[in-house]
Amino acid sequence: MKLFNWLDERTGLVSCFEKIAEWTVPASFCFCRFLPVAIVFAFLLQGITGLFLWAFYAPSAQTAWESVFYIQYHLPYGWLVRGIHHFSAQLLVGSLGIYVLLMILHGSYRRPREFVYWSAVVMFLFSLASCLTGDLLNWSLSGYFATIARVSFLQVLPIIGVPLYQLVAGGPDPQFGTLTLTRFTVLHIAVFGGGFLLVMLFWKWSDIRSRGLMPFKGSAHHCALACGTKEKRTFWGWEAIFCAFTCVIFFAAVLVFVFHQSLIFGQIDNREPTLPAEAYLGAELTSPADPGGSYDAARPEWSFRALYYMSKLPIFSVIGMVFAIFVVPTCLGIWFFALPILARIKYAHALIVLITLGLFVVFCRFTYLSYYDDYSSPEHSKTFLSGKAEADHLKQRAVELAFAPEGISKDGALSLLKNDSFIQGPKLFQQHCLSCHNFMPMPGQQNDSDFKPMLCPEPSAPNLYGATTSFWMKGFHDKDRLISDHYFGKTTNFAKKGSMVGFVTGRVQGGAYTKDGSFILNESGLIYPLIGSDASLSFDILESCLTELAGNPKTKGSVEKGEYVPKLKEMVAAKFADQKFLDGIKCKVPQIVLEELKKVLDDVLADPEYIALLKDSDNIALIVEDKDPAAFLEETFLAKLCGNGEPIAKKDQKYIDRLRTAIVASCNEVANILYSESQLDKPRPLIEGRYAGLRKNAIPDMAWLTCTECHAFYGTEKDLACDLRGYMSKSWIAGIISDPSHKTYYGKKNDRMPAYRPAEGDPLLSENEIRLLAEWMHADWYRAMDIENKERLGNNADLLPNIFKKEKKEEF
C-alpha cells in the first residue's frame, strides 16, 4: 500500500484509475456517445498502423513505391496493416460525415454544443486532407496522376495560385518529385495527422463541457438534453459493451474492405498465375508513377467524387473551373461553419435541415453519376475502362518484374517497365509503326494473348502480327496472301510488279488455268523440271531406265513383247533409291518433292492409258529399233502428262495438283529455314566448311526454289533483294528499322519506310528503343512461372515459352 501511496503522490496514476473506474455517463442512450467511439477507434487504427508503415517508408521518387511494394508483398502481413490503414481512413471520413449530418438533423449542433460541432467539421476536413496527401505517398500511377490533377488546380487561383503550387510541389517544375513527397509526408503525418489529434482532444473536451451545461430548453434537441441530464449510470456495464461492440463492427467493416476483392469478386482464386495473393489483398498498389506518361483513369477517392463530377458540368467550362474547385467548396464550408449561428434565428433549424438534406441528396446523386459515367456510360466509360485495364496490365507486369531474379535495380522500379519490351514494344509500335503497318491476327493465324491487336485505319505496308513466325513466312508462297493487304497489297512497287508475286504465280503454282478449266504448264515453273517432256527429272529417270531395258539382251525381248512394264516400275524405284544417280542430276530436288514425284510416277505407270502407250508397237519401235526412247518420251508419253505446251487434260491435272502440293510443302520447309534464321542472335559462322547449325539441304532447297537468285544466303552474295541471313532476327529487325535503304535490306527499292537511325542525320529512335521494338516482336521478355502462392515469384522463376516460340534459340 505504501508503494501505491508513494506512486499516487508523485504521479496521480492510482487516483486517475480510481476515477476511471467510477466513470459515469448519462443514463439515456444516444448516438453521440457511440458514433464518436468509432471515430476515436478509427483514429487509433490510423495512428498505430501509420506508425508501423512509417517505419518502413522511404519518401523519395526512387524509393517510395519500392518501400510500399516491400510492405505489401514481402513484409509479413504488411498488406493487412496497409489495408487497415487505407480503408479505416476512408471509413473515418464517412463516419465523420455521418456524425456531422446527424448532429444537424438532431439539432445537437446548436448551443451549448457549438464547439463540439465545429470541432467535428474541422476533423472532417482534416480527414479529407489526410486522404488527399496520403494518396500520393505510395508514388503509384493512380495516386500520382490523381494528385497532380488536383494540386494543379491551385495554379488557377489569382496571384497566390502559382506560388502556392510551387510551395506544395517543391519547385517550379510541373512534375512532382522527391521534394513533393517529403512535403506531402510532413503534411500527412504532422500537419493533418497531428492537427486531427489536437482537434479531437478539443472536441472531446468540448463534448464533456457541454454535458455539464444546463440545456437551453426550447432550442436544444433531445440529444443535447439527454447528454445534459443529471441522471447518471456507470460506464463499466452496458455502456462499455456497446462501445466495444461499436469498435468490433467498425473493425469488421474495415476487414471486409481489406478482403473485398477476394470476398466479392473471387480475384485471388482467379488471379493471374504470375501474381501472388497479396496483389488482391489490402489496398491496391498500381504500377510505379511515370511522370512522362499519362493515366486516363485517374480519379479521386469516393469522398471527392461528387466534386469531381460537379467540376465537369458545362456551366463551369463557361464561368471558369476556379468556381467549381474553390468557390463552391468554400461557400459550402462557410455555410456549415455558420450553422450554429444561423440556428439562433427562430425557425431557422427546419430550413437548415431541409437545405442540408438537399445538399446530401445532391452529393449522393453526383457521386453515383460519377461512378456511372466511368463504368456504364456509353459516352464516357470506354476511355476510363480502357485506362483502368492498361493500369491493371502495368500493375501485374510491375509485380512480375519486381519478383524476377534480378529484382528491382538501383534505378528504381520504374526502370523495370522502361526497359521492358513487353510494355514498351506496343507503345513504340503504336507511335512509330502503326501509321503504316497493321498489327492484327490474319485469317488462320494463331492468336497470342500476349500481343494486343492494333488496328491501322489505312494500312500501306505488311501486317506485322507474328512477323517472326513460320506462319507469317509461309505467306510468301501464297499468292492470295502475298498480294493481300496483310502483306504487300498496298506497297507501291511490289503488289503488281514485284518478282515475289511472279515467283508465286509462275513458279510455285507452275502454270495457269484457262477459262474452260484446262491447265497450261509454265516452263519456268517448278513443276516443269519434274515432268517436262525434255530434260526433266522424270525424263532423265525414264530415259535411263528404257535405254537400259532396250540395250540389255536379257530384257530387250520383254520390251519387244510389251511385257516390260513391271520391270520398268522396279527400275524406276531403283533409280529413286540410287543416291549417286540422283546426285548426278543437276536439279537438286527437295526430298519431300522427290518422294511425291516417285509416287506420281508409280501411279502414272499404273494408269491404263499410259500402260497402253508403253505397249504400243510404234512406241516400242522407237525404243528398241531406233533406240531413241527420248523421242517416245518427248512426243508421246511425257507429252501426255505435261501437255507439251498445250492444255493438260483434266484427268491428268490430279498429278499436277499433287506435285504442286509437294512444292508448297517444300516452300513450307524453306519458311521453317527462315524461321530458324529469325531465332538467331547473329548470322551463322562458317566452321570447318559448313555453316554452324544450318539445316541439312537448306542451301540446295533455297537454290531449287530460286530464292538465291535474288536474295543473299549462306554461300551466295546476291543483293537484288533483302539478305536472308538472320532474316527477321532481332538484329535483322533492328537493322531494317535503323536504315531500310541499306543494301542488306530493301536498298534502292525501299518503299517509303523511314530510317529511324541512319548512318547520317538525326535519329528518330534511340538504340535502346529499337532494341525494345525488336525484342517485343520476338516476344523476348521475362515471364515468371505459376508459383501457386507457395513461393515468391523470384524463386524458381523461369522463362515460359511464348505461343510464337516453337523452338529454342539455336546455339553454336
| Helix orientation angle between 31-56 and 238-258, rounded to the nearest 10 degrees | 50
Amino acid at 217: K
Q: Using an 8 Å Cβ cutoff, are 682 and 693 in contact?
A: no
Tens of pLDDT, residues 730-769: 999 999 999 988 888 888 777 778 899 888 888 899 999 9
Beta bridge pairs of residue 679: none
- Beta-strand pair 690-691/686-687: antiparallel
| Helix orientation angle between 537-551 and 617-624, rounded to the nearest 10 degrees | 80
With CA atoms as reference, report the closest residue to 422 among 388, 455, 450, 387. Answer: 450
Q: Which residues of the chain have pLDDT under 50?
A: 214, 218-219, 495, 787-808, 811-812
- What is the spatial distance between Cα 798 and Cα 39, in angstroms, rounded to a whole number? 49
| Global confidence as pTM | 0.80
At 276 the pLDDT is 82
Q: Using an 8 Å Cβ cutoff, are 416 and 409 in contact?
A: yes
At 289 the pLDDT is 92
At 200 the pLDDT is 95
At 334 the pLDDT is 95
At 636 the pLDDT is 87
At 447 the pLDDT is 86
- What is the spatial distance between Cα 424 and Cα 799, in angstroms, rounded to a whole number? 19
Q: Which helix (H) or strand (E) holds 513?
A: strand 511-513
Contacts of the segment 782-785: beta carbons below 8 A, 24+ positions apart: 782/400, 782/401, 782/404, 782/420, 782/422, 783/274, 783/400, 784/274, 784/400, 784/403, 784/404, 785/273, 785/274
